[in-house]
Amino acid sequence: MLKGKTAVITGASTGIGKEIALKMAENGANVAIIYIGDKTIAEDVKKQASSHGIKVEIYECDVSNYETSKTICDKIIEDFGSINILVNNAGITKDNLMLRMSEQDFDSVINVNLKGVFNITKHFSKTIMRAEAGRIINISSVSGLMGNAGQANYSASKAGVIGLTKTTAKEFAGKNVTCNAIAPGFIATDMTATLPQTVVDNVKSLVPLKRMGTADEVANLALFLASDMSSYITGEVIRIDGGMCM
Protein backbone atom coordinates (compact mmCIF):
# COMPACT_ATOMS: atom_id res chain seq x y z
CA MET A 1 0.00 0.00 0.00
CA LEU A 2 2.86 2.41 0.82
CA LYS A 3 5.69 0.74 -1.07
CA GLY A 4 8.43 3.17 -2.10
CA LYS A 5 7.24 5.92 0.23
CA THR A 6 8.97 7.30 3.31
CA ALA A 7 7.14 8.02 6.54
CA VAL A 8 8.42 10.09 9.44
CA ILE A 9 6.76 9.49 12.81
CA THR A 10 7.54 11.53 15.92
CA GLY A 11 7.25 9.99 19.37
CA ALA A 12 7.51 6.62 17.68
CA SER A 13 9.35 4.49 20.24
CA THR A 14 6.29 3.74 22.38
CA GLY A 15 2.50 3.68 22.42
CA ILE A 16 0.49 4.96 19.49
CA GLY A 17 3.57 6.27 17.67
CA LYS A 18 5.24 2.88 17.81
CA GLU A 19 2.18 1.12 16.40
CA ILE A 20 1.90 3.67 13.59
CA ALA A 21 5.57 3.19 12.70
CA LEU A 22 5.17 -0.60 12.60
CA LYS A 23 1.95 -0.34 10.59
CA MET A 24 3.63 1.89 8.00
CA ALA A 25 6.58 -0.50 7.78
CA GLU A 26 4.29 -3.52 7.45
CA ASN A 27 2.65 -1.81 4.47
CA GLY A 28 5.90 -1.10 2.64
CA ALA A 29 6.96 2.39 3.74
CA ASN A 30 10.51 3.25 4.73
CA VAL A 31 10.35 4.68 8.24
CA ALA A 32 12.21 7.42 10.12
CA ILE A 33 11.56 7.12 13.84
CA ILE A 34 11.92 10.27 15.93
CA TYR A 35 12.10 9.61 19.66
CA ILE A 36 13.39 11.05 22.91
CA GLY A 37 14.64 9.13 25.91
CA ASP A 38 15.60 5.46 25.95
CA LYS A 39 17.58 4.54 22.83
CA THR A 40 17.28 0.83 23.59
CA ILE A 41 13.51 1.02 23.21
CA ALA A 42 13.85 2.90 19.92
CA GLU A 43 16.35 0.33 18.67
CA ASP A 44 13.85 -2.43 19.43
CA VAL A 45 11.17 -0.68 17.36
CA LYS A 46 13.70 -0.29 14.55
CA LYS A 47 14.42 -4.02 14.68
CA GLN A 48 10.72 -4.89 14.53
CA ALA A 49 10.07 -2.50 11.64
CA SER A 50 13.14 -3.65 9.72
CA SER A 51 11.79 -7.21 9.65
CA HIS A 52 9.47 -6.07 6.86
CA GLY A 53 12.42 -5.50 4.54
CA ILE A 54 12.30 -1.71 4.44
CA LYS A 55 14.75 1.02 5.48
CA VAL A 56 14.43 2.21 9.08
CA GLU A 57 16.48 4.75 10.99
CA ILE A 58 16.07 6.28 14.46
CA TYR A 59 16.73 9.89 15.47
CA GLU A 60 16.71 11.33 18.97
CA CYS A 61 15.15 14.79 19.01
CA ASP A 62 13.35 17.22 21.29
CA VAL A 63 10.67 18.37 18.84
CA SER A 64 9.99 21.50 20.91
CA ASN A 65 13.46 22.85 20.11
CA TYR A 66 13.31 24.68 16.76
CA GLU A 67 17.00 24.52 15.83
CA THR A 68 17.60 20.97 17.06
CA SER A 69 14.54 19.69 15.21
CA LYS A 70 15.68 21.43 12.02
CA THR A 71 19.03 19.67 12.22
CA ILE A 72 17.33 16.29 12.63
CA CYS A 73 14.84 16.93 9.82
CA ASP A 74 17.68 17.92 7.50
CA LYS A 75 19.50 14.70 8.44
CA ILE A 76 16.40 12.61 7.69
CA ILE A 77 16.03 14.27 4.28
CA GLU A 78 19.71 13.56 3.61
CA ASP A 79 19.31 9.90 4.64
CA PHE A 80 16.03 9.15 2.83
CA GLY A 81 16.02 11.63 -0.04
CA SER A 82 12.33 12.47 0.11
CA ILE A 83 9.48 12.45 2.62
CA ASN A 84 5.96 11.44 1.60
CA ILE A 85 4.24 10.98 4.97
CA LEU A 86 4.62 12.89 8.22
CA VAL A 87 2.92 11.81 11.43
CA ASN A 88 3.19 14.33 14.27
CA ASN A 89 2.55 12.14 17.28
CA ALA A 90 5.02 13.28 19.96
CA GLY A 91 3.27 14.50 23.08
CA ILE A 92 3.49 14.78 26.85
CA THR A 93 1.12 15.34 29.76
CA LYS A 94 1.62 17.28 32.98
CA ASP A 95 -1.86 17.14 34.46
CA ASN A 96 -3.12 19.31 37.31
CA LEU A 97 -6.03 21.54 38.13
CA MET A 98 -5.56 25.02 36.69
CA LEU A 99 -5.37 26.53 40.19
CA ARG A 100 -2.35 24.33 40.93
CA MET A 101 -0.76 24.18 37.47
CA SER A 102 2.63 25.86 37.21
CA GLU A 103 3.62 28.11 34.34
CA GLN A 104 6.44 25.71 33.54
CA ASP A 105 4.05 22.75 33.25
CA PHE A 106 1.72 24.74 30.99
CA ASP A 107 4.55 25.95 28.76
CA SER A 108 6.31 22.58 28.45
CA VAL A 109 3.15 20.80 27.28
CA ILE A 110 2.33 23.54 24.77
CA ASN A 111 5.93 23.53 23.52
CA VAL A 112 6.05 19.78 22.84
CA ASN A 113 2.47 19.09 21.80
CA LEU A 114 1.77 22.19 19.69
CA LYS A 115 5.01 23.98 18.89
CA GLY A 116 6.60 20.62 18.14
CA VAL A 117 4.01 19.99 15.42
CA PHE A 118 4.75 23.41 13.94
CA ASN A 119 8.52 22.86 14.08
CA ILE A 120 8.55 19.47 12.37
CA THR A 121 5.93 20.39 9.78
CA LYS A 122 7.75 23.60 8.87
CA HIS A 123 11.12 21.89 8.55
CA PHE A 124 9.70 19.20 6.23
CA SER A 125 7.33 21.53 4.36
CA LYS A 126 9.37 22.06 1.19
CA THR A 127 10.30 18.38 0.91
CA ILE A 128 6.77 17.07 1.46
CA MET A 129 5.35 19.62 -1.00
CA ARG A 130 7.64 18.14 -3.63
CA ALA A 131 6.40 14.64 -2.87
CA GLU A 132 3.63 13.14 -4.94
CA ALA A 133 0.42 13.24 -2.91
CA GLY A 134 2.06 14.11 0.40
CA ARG A 135 0.29 13.26 3.65
CA ILE A 136 0.50 15.01 7.03
CA ILE A 137 -1.26 13.40 9.97
CA ASN A 138 -1.41 15.17 13.34
CA ILE A 139 -2.37 13.32 16.50
CA SER A 140 -4.76 15.46 18.51
CA SER A 141 -7.16 14.18 21.21
CA VAL A 142 -10.79 14.25 22.23
CA SER A 143 -9.50 16.45 25.07
CA GLY A 144 -8.88 19.08 22.41
CA LEU A 145 -12.51 18.83 21.31
CA MET A 146 -14.33 18.69 24.63
CA GLY A 147 -11.82 19.83 27.26
CA ASN A 148 -10.94 17.82 30.34
CA ALA A 149 -10.67 18.85 33.97
CA GLY A 150 -7.05 18.79 35.12
CA GLN A 151 -5.74 19.13 31.57
CA ALA A 152 -5.85 22.84 30.75
CA ASN A 153 -2.40 22.61 29.16
CA TYR A 154 -2.99 19.33 27.31
CA SER A 155 -6.48 20.26 26.09
CA ALA A 156 -5.26 23.65 24.90
CA SER A 157 -2.34 22.08 23.05
CA LYS A 158 -4.51 19.49 21.32
CA ALA A 159 -7.13 22.09 20.39
CA GLY A 160 -4.28 24.12 18.93
CA VAL A 161 -3.19 21.11 16.88
CA ILE A 162 -6.66 21.05 15.32
CA GLY A 163 -6.41 24.71 14.29
CA LEU A 164 -2.90 24.13 12.96
CA THR A 165 -4.11 21.09 11.02
CA LYS A 166 -6.84 23.06 9.24
CA THR A 167 -4.47 25.90 8.37
CA THR A 168 -1.84 23.47 7.08
CA ALA A 169 -4.49 21.74 4.99
CA LYS A 170 -5.44 25.03 3.33
CA GLU A 171 -1.85 26.18 2.77
CA PHE A 172 -0.56 22.86 1.39
CA ALA A 173 -3.58 21.82 -0.71
CA GLY A 174 -2.24 23.55 -3.81
CA LYS A 175 0.68 21.10 -3.80
CA ASN A 176 -1.61 18.07 -3.47
CA VAL A 177 -0.65 17.58 0.19
CA THR A 178 -3.42 16.64 2.61
CA CYS A 179 -3.36 17.31 6.34
CA ASN A 180 -5.74 15.67 8.78
CA ALA A 181 -5.94 15.16 12.54
CA ILE A 182 -6.74 12.03 14.50
CA ALA A 183 -8.43 12.55 17.88
CA PRO A 184 -8.03 9.41 19.99
CA GLY A 185 -10.17 8.83 23.03
CA PHE A 186 -9.32 6.40 25.83
CA ILE A 187 -6.61 4.22 24.29
CA ALA A 188 -4.80 1.35 26.03
CA THR A 189 -1.11 2.30 26.23
CA ASP A 190 1.69 2.10 28.80
CA MET A 191 0.46 5.45 30.14
CA THR A 192 -3.11 4.28 30.78
CA ALA A 193 -1.85 0.96 32.17
CA THR A 194 -0.74 2.77 35.35
CA LEU A 195 -4.21 4.18 36.08
CA PRO A 196 -6.18 2.75 39.03
CA GLN A 197 -8.84 0.24 37.98
CA THR A 198 -11.56 2.49 39.43
CA VAL A 199 -10.50 5.28 37.06
CA VAL A 200 -10.42 2.89 34.10
CA ASP A 201 -13.90 1.56 34.94
CA ASN A 202 -15.28 5.08 35.30
CA VAL A 203 -13.95 6.15 31.90
CA LYS A 204 -15.21 2.97 30.24
CA SER A 205 -18.68 3.77 31.56
CA LEU A 206 -18.59 6.99 29.53
CA VAL A 207 -17.74 5.16 26.30
CA PRO A 208 -20.75 3.80 24.37
CA LEU A 209 -18.68 0.83 23.16
CA LYS A 210 -17.75 0.13 26.82
CA ARG A 211 -14.08 -0.55 26.21
CA MET A 212 -10.75 1.12 25.67
CA GLY A 213 -9.40 1.48 22.16
CA THR A 214 -6.10 0.00 21.07
CA ALA A 215 -3.03 1.67 19.63
CA ASP A 216 -3.34 -0.67 16.65
CA GLU A 217 -6.82 0.70 15.89
CA VAL A 218 -5.39 4.23 15.85
CA ALA A 219 -2.57 3.00 13.60
CA ASN A 220 -5.11 1.56 11.16
CA LEU A 221 -6.71 4.99 10.82
CA ALA A 222 -3.29 6.60 10.32
CA LEU A 223 -2.54 4.05 7.59
CA PHE A 224 -5.79 4.93 5.81
CA LEU A 225 -5.00 8.65 5.97
CA ALA A 226 -1.47 8.00 4.69
CA SER A 227 -2.72 5.96 1.74
CA ASP A 228 -4.20 6.85 -1.63
CA MET A 229 -7.61 5.83 -0.26
CA SER A 230 -7.83 9.16 1.57
CA SER A 231 -6.82 11.37 -1.35
CA TYR A 232 -9.90 13.61 -1.16
CA ILE A 233 -9.91 14.07 2.62
CA THR A 234 -8.13 17.07 4.08
CA GLY A 235 -8.59 19.44 7.01
CA GLU A 236 -10.62 16.83 8.91
CA VAL A 237 -10.54 15.81 12.56
CA ILE A 238 -11.44 12.14 12.87
CA ARG A 239 -12.35 10.86 16.32
CA ILE A 240 -11.45 7.32 17.31
CA ASP A 241 -13.05 7.15 20.73
CA GLY A 242 -15.74 4.48 20.81
CA GLY A 243 -18.39 7.18 20.63
CA MET A 244 -17.28 9.00 23.79
CA CYS A 245 -17.31 12.45 22.21
CA MET A 246 -20.48 12.25 20.10
Q: Which residues are catalytic?
A: 154
Helices (H), 27-175: 39-50, 66-80, 103-110, 116-130, 143-146, 152-172
Strand pairing partners for 237?
181
Q: Please report, as a single letter, which amino acid is at residue 9.
A: I
Instruction: Annotate 180-199 with DSSP letters as a single string.
Output: EEEEE-SEESTTGGGS-HHH
Measuring CA to CA, which residue among 40, 45, 39 is closest to residue 15?
Answer: 45
Measuring CA to CA, which residue among 137, 167, 140 is closest to residue 151?
Answer: 140
Q: Please report, as a single letter, which amino acid is at residue 219.
A: A
Residue 89, phi then psi, degrees to nearest 5:
-115, -25
Q: Please report, as a single letter, which amino acid is at residue 38.
A: D
**How many Å apart are CA 68 and CA 119, to the nearest integer?**
10
Residue 95, phi then psi, degrees to nearest 5:
-75, 145
